[in-house]
């Protein structure tokens, strides 16, 4: 957490920055197809963090402790799960989940992290 800028959780840029960081520094896995997630919102829906307020752009100008500068838009431009290296799929029968390298990802140097079951070893 010492590399994460002083973001306000739930505001714009926060989750995009975390995902972008994963794209560049971790083995990022998109589990959208296998994990049930609940995104709680108020009356404004998914755009609650986009509502204009005196500090609504706080995360766009947050201080990055690594670069010693304000957060730059290139630090969150890969902030969508479509940029992840791997994705998960569930078997049609059973609970087993497999992992695969994203076909639309132009990364050839990545391999599945140890202990993960490749999709080709499951009957999907």
pLDDT digits (tens), the chain, 124 positions: 899 999 988 788 999 999 999 988 888 889 998 988 877 777 777 676 667 777 788 898 899 999 999 999 999 999 998 999 888 888 777 778 888 888 766 555 566 666 666 665 544 4
- By CB neighbour count within 10 A (0-12 exposed, 13-18 middle, 19+ buried), where does 24 fall? exposed
Tokens 């995009």 found at? 16
- Identify the sign of the CA torsion 53, 59, 65, 71: negative
Q: What is d(CA 87, CA 93) in angstroms, rounded to the nearest whole number? A: 19
Q: What is d(CA 87, CA 102) in angstroms, rounded to the nearest whole number? A: 6
């Amino acid at each position: 957490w010492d590399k994460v800028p002083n973001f306000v959780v739930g505001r714009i840029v926060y989750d995009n920055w975390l995902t972008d960081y994963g794209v560049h520094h971790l083995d990022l896995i998109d589990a959208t197809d296998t994990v049930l997630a609940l995104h709680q919102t108020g009356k404004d829906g998914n755009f609650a963090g986009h509502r204009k307020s005196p500090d609504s752009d706080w995360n766009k100008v947050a201080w990055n402790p690594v670069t010693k500068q304000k957060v730059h838009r290139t630090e969150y431009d890969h902030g969508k799960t479509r940029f992840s290296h791997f994705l998960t799929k569930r078997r049609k029968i059973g609970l087993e989940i497999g992992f695969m390298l994203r076909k639309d990802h132009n990364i050839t140097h990545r391999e599945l992290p140890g202990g993960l079951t490749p999709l080709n070893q499951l009957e999907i």
